[in-house]
């Protein structure tokens, strides 16, 4: 089943259901904001106080940070780029089988985007909804000149209790601690008892999120960097569209090309960042 929905304020999204999964994708930002494998707890976290308004990124799900991750040198430009607050089009839908639904959403450069970022591009998100959630973010440079991007699939995961989870697979990886701006090396699993905001590099293996009753897998391709974030108490209070206690039930493992993992795309070439979650 694929259904197009529109809220009373005009906010549009697509509802997808098949024999193995249920998902929702907003046209704004090609933003997947719900994904669950049938009859299981949702895998993506969604804030109870998220906006569903044109021009405001949904808090939770998988925001697409593109064509830059984090702050831009020009602080008049939006953090994490403009893709997540742009209206994408549905380029293709394919109910491939009872178990698999494929959706392609597309964003192209415009007069407005050229004012923010002076390059001609095509951006596609290829989504496969099944017992796995696969996202492929494909950037094509249709300009005459090369351009450089940083990007992330900024995935918010739902967890039972932040005190009872661990992230495995980043042991011995170097990371930039965004709180101290120091470079560190990860030792063992990542557990949480304070704010964590780290950009790991040299990542090639899958990352595991070990929760009380489930282990989630994050497999990346076209990416050597992974961002791990939990706002903890103080920052959570400062975040928009997050309840004060939201930090207890979420964390982000973001499949990225961030910082040293920035990518240059030559004219008429493409780059795909892929994440598979299950």
CB of 224 to ligand TA6, least distance (A): 16
Q: Where are the beta strands (DSSP E) in 7-45?
A: 12-17, 21-26, 31-37
Task: Say which of 34, 48, 154, 219 is annotated catalytic.
Answer: 154
Active-site residue, 80 included:
no
Q: Which of 34, 80, 124, 254 is catalytic?
A: 254
Annotated binding-site members: 59, 79, 84
Choose between 98 and 233: whose C-beta lies nearer to ligand TA6. 233
Residue with tokens 């959570």: 236
Residue pair 157/43 in contact (Cβ under 8 Å)? The answer is yes
Beta-carbon count within 10 A of 241 CB: 15
Q: Are 102 and 96 in contact (CB under 8 A)?
A: yes
Of 80 and 126, nearer to ligand TA6 (C-beta) is 80
CB of 179 to ligand TA6, least distance (A): 9
Nearer to ligand TA6, 13 or 82 (CB): 82
Residues of the shown chain interacting with ligand TA6 in the complex, contacts defined by CB under 6 A: 57, 63, 70, 79-80, 154, 178, 197, 227, 229, 252, 254
Q: How far is the CB of 149 from ligand TA6 (least distance, A)?
A: 16
Residue 59 sits at the vertex; the CA angle it makes with 55 and 64, to the nearest 5 degrees, is 70
Closest residue by Cα to residue 50 from 67, 74, 34, 68: 34
Binding-site annotation, residues for substrate = 59, 79, 84
Cβ proximity of 162 and 247 under 8 Å? yes
H or E element in which residue 217 lies: strand 215-221
206 is annotated as an active-site residue: no
Strand partners, 175: 184, 200
| Minimum CB distance to ligand TA6 smaller for 72 or for 101 | 72
Closest distance to ligand TA6 from the beta carbon of 98 (Å)? 35
Residue nearest to ligand TA6 (CB): 229
Q: Which residues are catalytic?
A: 154, 254
């Amino acid at each position: 089943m694929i259904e197009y929905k529109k809220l009373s304020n005009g906010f549009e999204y697509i509802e997808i259901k098949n024999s193995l999964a249920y998902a929702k994708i907003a046209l704004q930002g090609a933003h997947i904001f719900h994904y669950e494998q049938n009859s299981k707890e949702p895998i993506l976290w969604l804030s109870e106080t998220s906006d569903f308004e044109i021009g405001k990124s949904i808090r939770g799900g998988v925001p697409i940070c593109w064509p830059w991750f984090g702050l831009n040198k020009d602080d008049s430009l939006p953090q994490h780029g403009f893709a997540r607050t742009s209206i994408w089009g549905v380029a293709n839908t394919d109910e491939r089988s009872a178990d698999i639904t494929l959706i392609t959403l597309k964003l192209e450069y415009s007069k407005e985007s050229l004012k923010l970022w002076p390059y001609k591009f095509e951006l596609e998100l290829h989504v496969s909804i099944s017992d796995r959630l696969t996202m492929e973010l494909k950037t094509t440079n249709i300009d005459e000149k090369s351009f450089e991007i940083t990007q992330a699939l900024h995935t918010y995961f739902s967890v039972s209790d932040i005190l009872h989870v661990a992230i495995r697979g980043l042991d011995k990886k170097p990371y930039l601690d965004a709180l101290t701006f120091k470079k560190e090396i990860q030792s063992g699993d990542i557990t949480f008892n304070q704010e964590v905001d780290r950009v790991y590099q040299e990542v090639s293996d899958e990352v595991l999120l070990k929760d009380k009753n489930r282990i989630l897998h994050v497999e990346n391709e076209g990416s050597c960097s992974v961002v791990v974030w939990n706002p903890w108490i103080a920052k959570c209070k400062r975040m928009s569209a997050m309840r004060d206690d939201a930090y207890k039930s979420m964390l982000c493992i973001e499949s990225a090309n961030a910082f040293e993992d920035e990518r240059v795309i030559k004219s008429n070439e493409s780059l795909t960042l892929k994440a598979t979650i299950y």
